[in-house]
């Protein structure tokens, strides 16, 4: 789902910085050490009440006489909820704070009582939800500890989450089974990691970031969320992308090693995606039984035989000095099966040190520990799991879902390359921790062949980026960042193609291909 994120003006020029929830909490505490009043909480509560008003107008069609129930926890999150209820009560809304614990924020309780709001015990929640126009979830925010059990809220009641949907770990995106999904989340001080990845991303709804003046108290962001209009920024950091005046070799030559009798379509999908993204020339290495289908469906592709590969890789090395490589990058893996021949080709290609994207079948043939390769691995959670296991790191798919940035980073370090972890929130990360997050526009992107399309898009971007081979890379960290930018750029184009295709109904990988040229053009490629 495309996550709509609204930020205050001036919050971020382009990419939206993301911070671990606990870092934001620390920054708030630092700020409070300077100012001991309830200023921050009042500002947070005012923003929460404002969004509640918008939601009431949208869903109930009125403000006066509407009914709002808030789940109020024992900490400051509950305090925010109580002050917000008080503000709503002053505007004629019938408000009730359902107290989940024996204690609640004292000043918040006093403000609610002064405004004429009511409190109720948790056992009365079910009855109070009947006829309720809006539920404010102010049970737990960044202070959540493990082991919480939350009440079930009927799906037809709109939910506004205070800071973080209760049950979500704001540092990681993990969520308890009883998490309360929100239609909208007002988050305070900064966008939190837990809202944009993992399960947290799926239950946060539309996000409104409220500035609390924490700048100067926050550490470096943990990651950035990138959206469609960030594409040019991501690409421009790598090079001049205008195709004007370039011949086909300068627009990029991509080698594709893909396909098998079992998965012939994967090679075709990657090849078509590469060509549709504006590649100069595609050279394809596929098994004989896939070649005919590929030539028929991608007539632009020029087949590459085993012997020619050896010659070409040698020529690549010679031409590098003249600045004109014959194959600029490789896309390896879609539909690939582990055979002796495949391994020979794979090793040949990898030893040439061209920038490459490694996907699907090729991931299973990769070993950790080779250093300084300009590679992007594109696993889904299951493949990441296997990659980590080979590197001696035992985690379950559930662990990965609960803290995807962390495990994607582990793999990036173990394989010393960029990792693009696919998911409804795709995470692109370099070994030094630089990370970008791209949200899928539609859950339908999780369809067979969708990853093959992504590999083709990314292959084209890599080929056109004219990156040096490893030996020429003076500053490997800077190059890893460029690869991360390109990986996120490919994910953005892929996501936008998905959004365009979803406008027409449910989507298949072929629908993505059809929309690719328009998606690339819309985003300014
Ligand atoms: N610190 C500040 O200055 C500000 C904090 N704000 C709000 O404060 C929140 C953080 O406040 P807190 O640090 O008080 O944390 P929370 O209010 O999120 O939760 C902490 C409270 O919940 C209890 N708790 C946590 N997990 C539990 C579990 N599993 N079972 C039972 N009880 C559990 C804790 O014992 C504690 O009483 C933010 O999310 C935000 O909503 C905002 O008001 C802005 C300013």
Tens of pLDDT, residue by residue over 326-357, are: 788 999 999 999 999 999 999 999 888 889 99
* Ranges in the chain, pLDDT < 50: 1-2, 321-324
CA 38, CA 389: separation in Å to the nearest integer?
A: 49
The answer to whether the annotation marks 14 as part of a ligand binding site is no
Q: Does residue 143 have its Cβ closer than 6 Å to ligand 1?
A: yes
For residue 378, how far is its CA from the centre of ligand 1 (angstroms)?
Answer: 37
* Ligand 1 atom with least separation from CA of 142: 39
Q: How far is CA 472 from CA 326, 372, 423, 466, in A?
A: 16, 11, 33, 12
For ligand 1, mutation pick of 35, 38, 45, 73 (most atoms within 8 Å of CB) = 73
Structural tokens at position 272: 């078509």
Confidence (pLDDT) at 2: 47
Count H helices and E strands in the chain, helices first: 20, 20
Q: Is the beta carbon of 410 within 6 A of some atom in ligand 1?
A: no
Ligand 1: which of 102, 142, 168, 169 to mutate, judged by most atoms within 8 Å of the beta carbon? Answer: 142
CA of residue 76 to ligand 1 center, whole Å: 5
Backbone angles phi, psi at 264, to 5 degrees: -70, -30
Query: Per the annotation, does 485 bind a ligand?
Result: no
Beta strands in 163-288 (DSSP E): 184-188, 191-192, 206-210, 223-225, 253-257, 281-285
Say if residue 248 carries a ligand binding annotation: no
Atom of ligand 1 nearest to the CA of 147: 29
CATH superfamily of the domain spanning 5-219: YjeF N-terminal domain (3.40.50.10260)
451 annotated as a binding-site residue: yes
HEC-encoded secondary structure of 335-385: CCCCCHHHHHHHHHHHHCCCCEEECHHHHCCCCCCCCCCCEEECCCHHHHH
Q: Which atom of ligand 1 is nearest to the CA of 145?
A: 26
Give domain limits for the chain: 5-219, 229-522
**What phi, psi does 223 have (nearest 5°)?**
-165, 180
In this structure, the number of other CB atoms found within 10 A of the CB of residue 343 comes to 12
Q: Is 41 in the pocket of ligand 1 (CB under 6 A)?
A: yes
Is 423 one of the annotated binding-site residues? Answer: yes
Alpha-carbon gap, residue 282 to 267, rounded angstroms: 12
Structure tokens at 435: 């990370």
Q: Are 18 and 227 in contact (CB under 8 A)?
A: no
Any ligand 1 atom below 6 A from CB of 141: yes
Query: Is the CB–ligand 1 distance for residue 21 below 6 Å?
Result: no
Residue 78, annotated as binding a ligand: yes
Q: Which residue has the tokens 């404002």?
A: 50
Hey, what are 90's tokens? 């002053």
The listed CATH number (3.40.1190.20, 2.10.60.10, 3.20.20.480, 3.40.190.10) that belongs to domain 229-522: 3.40.1190.20
- Backbone φ, ψ for residue 358 (5° rounding): -120, 125
522 among the known binding-site residues? Answer: no
Altogether, the residues listed in the chain come to a count of 525
Spacing, Cα 75 to ligand 1 middle (Å): 4
Can you list the positions of beta strands (E) in 15-143?
A: 16-19, 67-72, 94-99, 118-121, 134-138
422 is in an annotated binding site: yes
Known binding residue 306? Answer is: no
Instruction: Say what the pLDDT of residue 31 is.
Output: 81
In the block, tokens 């390359």 appear at 417
Quickly list DSSP for 245-307.
T--HHHH-EEEEE---SS-HHHHHHHHHHHHHTT-SEEEEE--HHHHHHHHHH-TT-EE--HH
Q: Which residue, judged by its Cα, is nearest atom 31 of ligand 1? A: 148
40 lines ligand 1 (CB under 6 A): yes
CA–CA distance, 49 with 42 (Å, rounded to integer): 10
Token match 């408000």: residue? 95
State the Cα–Cα distance between residues 157 and 490, nearest whole angstrom: 37
Q: Which atom of ligand 1 is nearest to the CA of 80?
A: 43
Two structure tokens written together for 273: 């995606």
Cβ 259 under 6 angstroms from ligand 1: no
DSSP state of 326: S
Helix (H, G, I), strand (E, B) or coil at 480: helix
The answer to whether domain 5-219 and domain 229-522 are alike in fold is: no
pTM of the full predicted structure? Answer: 0.93
**Phi, then psi, of 341 in degrees rounded to 5:** -65, -45
Phi and psi angles of residue 409, each rounded to the nearest 5 degrees, phi first: -65, -40
- Give residue 441's pLDDT: 73
Pocket flag, ligand 1, residue 44 (CB < 6 Å): yes
102 lines ligand 1 (CB under 6 A): no
The gap from C-alpha 477 to its chain's centroid, in whole angstroms, comes to: 22
Ligand 1 pocket member 29 (CB < 6 A): yes
- ipTM of predicted complex: 0.97
Residue whose token pair is 């107008």:
57
Residue with CA at minimum distance from ligand 1 atom 13: 143
């Amino acid at each position: 789902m495309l996550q709509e994120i609204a930020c205050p003006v001036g919050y971020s020029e382009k990419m939206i910085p993301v911070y671990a929830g606990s870092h934001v909490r620390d920054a708030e505490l630092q700020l409070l050490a300077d100012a001991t009043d309830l200023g921050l909480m009042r500002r947070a509560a005012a923003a929460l009440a404002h969004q509640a008003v918008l939601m009431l107008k949208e869903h109930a069609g009125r403000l006066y006489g509407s009914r709002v129930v808030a789940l109020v926890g024992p900490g400051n999150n509950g305090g925010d909820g109580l002050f917000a209820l008080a503000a709503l009560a002053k505007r004629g809304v019938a408000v009730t704070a359902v107290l989940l614990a024996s204690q609640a924020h004292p000043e918040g309780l006093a403000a609610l009582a002064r405004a004429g709001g009511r409190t109720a015990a948790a056992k009365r929640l079910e009855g109070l939800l009947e006829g309720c126009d809006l539920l404010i979830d102010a049970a737990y925010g960044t202070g959540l500890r493990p082991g919480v059990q939350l009440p079930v809220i009927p799906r037809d009641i709109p939910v506004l989450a205070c800071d973080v949907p209760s049950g979500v770990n704001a540092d990681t995106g993990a969520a308890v089974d009883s998490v309360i999904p929100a239609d909208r989340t007002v988050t305070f001080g900064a966008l939190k990691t837990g809202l944009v990845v993992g399960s947290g991303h799926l239950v946060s709804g539309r996000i409104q970031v409220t500035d609390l003046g924490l700048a100067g108290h926050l550490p470096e962001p943990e990651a950035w969320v990138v959206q469609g209009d960030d594409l040019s920024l991501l690409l421009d950091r790598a090079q001049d992308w205008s195709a004007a005046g370039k011949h086909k070799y300068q627009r990029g030559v991509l080698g594709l090693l893909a396909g098998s009798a079992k998965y012939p379509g994967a090679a075709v999908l990657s090849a078509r995606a590469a060509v549709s993204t504006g590649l100069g020339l595609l050279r394809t290495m596929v098994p004989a039984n896939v070649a005919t289908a590929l030539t028929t469906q991608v007539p632009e592709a020029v087949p590459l035989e085993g012997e020619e590969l050896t010659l070409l890789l040698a020529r690549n090395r010679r031409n590098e000095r003249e600045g004109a490589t014959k194959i600029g990058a490789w896309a390896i893996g879609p539909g690939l099966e582990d055979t002796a021949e495949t391994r020979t080709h794979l090793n040949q290609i990898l030893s040439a040190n061209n920038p490459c994207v490694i996907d699907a079948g090729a991931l299973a043939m990769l070993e950790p520990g080779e250093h300084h390769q300009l590679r992007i691995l594109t696993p889904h959670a299951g493949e990441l799991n296997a990659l980590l296991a080979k590197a001696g790191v035992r985690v379950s798919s559930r662990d990965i879902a609960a803290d995807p940035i962390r495990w994607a980073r582990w793999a990036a370090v173990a394989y010393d390359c960029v990792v693009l972890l696919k998911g409804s929130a795709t995470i692109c990360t370099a070994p030094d921790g630089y990370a970008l997050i791209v949200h899928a526009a539609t859950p339908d992107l999780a369809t067979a062949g969708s990853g093959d399309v992504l590999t083709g898009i990314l292959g084209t971007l890599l080929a056109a980026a004219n990156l040096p081979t490893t030996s020429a890379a003076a500053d490997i960290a800077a190059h890893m960042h460029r690869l991360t930018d390109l990986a996120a750029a490919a994910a953005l184009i892929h996501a936008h193609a998905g959004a365009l295709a979803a406008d027409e109904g449910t989507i298949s990988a072929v629908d993505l291909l059809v929309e690719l040229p328009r998606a690339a053009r819309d985003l300014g490629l």
